[in-house]
Structure 1
């Protein structure tokens, strides 16, 4: 299992074990309520998923780079859903 797969699995476990739905997880980490996850909000999600502080910044940047389809530097709900679909494959 690659490091990427391990990180995505930890995110999946966090969402599955601590939230009733992916949308509730998204809303929980959307601290400012703008319906998008910023890099700092993604770092909070990664911290809760027990991703090492050393790589958290790199991973949050890579997640945005990989899933930010509209190029605004944020992860919207629809982009978050696409990421979750990849995780659960």
Structure 2
């Protein structure tokens, strides 16, 4: 005799449990991520301004170009942090 109230998979194995949802992130962590991301955008903005100034000069300084690239990388990290805060887990 079989128990009709308990569903069985087509291959005869017992049903598996649904996957657990990841824990929700608190609103405070999301706010801190967004604020820190905005703070990281400021070096990126300065890098854009100094990079334009360095490229328009007759002989660009390699040190200034390196700092501009570093600032752009920090700004990109800020964009990714804001994106992660908005998107969630």
Q: TM-score range by the shorter chain?
A: under 0.3
> Which structure is richer in relative contact order (CA contacts within 8 A, separation 6 or more)?
2
Which of the pair is proportionally richer in strand? 1
Q: Which structure's CA Rg is the greater one?
A: 2
Which of the pair is proportionally richer in helix? 1
